[in-house]
C-alpha cells in the first residue's frame, strides 16, 4: 500500500498535472524541496483530506510514514499565514470566471430553506436594536 492507495481513498483529489499547472504556482515553496522525498502534491492532497473529512491533524497517519502530521500541518499553517490559499482562491476564480453563470448567483440567502415549525417570538422576546 503506497502513495496511490491512500490517494484513491481521498474524498477530494487533485491530479498531479492539475496541481503543477494551477495550484503550485500560487503556493510558496522551495525549489530544492525534496529533502524528505515528499512532493507538495502529496502534502496538498493530505491537507484536502483533513479539511474535507474533518479529522484532526494528530489522527492523520499517512500509510507510508514518509511524512508526519506535524509536517503536513506546518505546510497548511504556512500557506494559510502567507496568503497562498487566498492567492490560490483568487487565481482560480479569475481562471473560471468566464464559465460561471453569474446571472443566477444568489448571495442574500433568500432561497435558503429553513426549518418550519419553530417557536414564534412574542413582542417581549424581541430586543430593540441599540441606537
Q: What is the pLDDT of residues 1-54, one digit of tens each?
A: 333 444 445 457 888 988 888 888 889 877 665 555 778 888 899 899 888 888
- The total number of structural domains that make up the chain: 1
What pLDDT, on the 0 to 100 scale, is given for residue 106?
64
The size of the chain, in residues, is 131
Residue 75 lies in a domain: yes
69 and 61 Cβ atoms separated by less than 8 Å: yes
Q: Is it the case that residue 81 has pLDDT exceeding 90?
A: yes
Q: What's the chain's average pLDDT?
A: 75
100 Ramachandran zone, left/alpha/beta (phi>0; psi -120 to 50):
beta
What's the domain range around 71? Answer: 54-98
Identify whether 84 is part of a domain.
yes
Burial class (CB in 10 A: 0-12, 13-18, 19+), 6: middle
Dihedral pair phi/psi, residue 24, rounded to 5°: -55, -40
Task: Tell me whether residue 90 is in a domain.
Answer: yes
According to DSSP, residue 33 is labeled -
Residue 72 falls inside a structural domain: yes
pLDDT, residue 30, reads 74
> Domain for residue 69, yes or no?
yes
Residue 128 lies in a domain: no
Residue 23 placed within a domain: no
Amino acid at each position: 500500500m503506497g502513495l496511490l492507495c491512500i490517494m484513491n481513498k481521498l474524498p477530494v483529489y487533485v491530479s498531479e498535472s492539475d496541481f503543477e499547472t494551477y495550484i503550485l504556482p500560487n503556493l510558496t515553496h522551495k525549489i530544492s524541496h525534496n529533502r524528505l522525498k515528499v512532493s507538495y502534491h502529496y502534502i496538498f492532497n493530505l491537507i484536502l483530506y483533513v479539511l474535507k473529512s474533518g479529522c484532526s491533524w494528530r489522527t492523520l497517519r499517512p500509510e507510508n510514514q514518509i511524512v508526519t502530521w506535524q509536517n503536513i500541518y506546518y505546510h497548511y499553517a504556512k500557506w494559510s499565514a502567507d496568503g497562498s490559499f487566498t492567492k490560490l482562491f483568487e487565481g482560480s476564480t479569475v481562471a473560471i470566471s468566464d464559465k460561471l453563470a453569474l446571472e443566477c448567483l444568489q448571495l442574500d440567502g433568500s432561497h435558503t430553506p429553513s426549518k418550519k415549525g419553530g417557536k414564534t417570538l412574542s413582542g417581549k422576546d424581541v430586543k430593540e436594536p441599540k441606537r
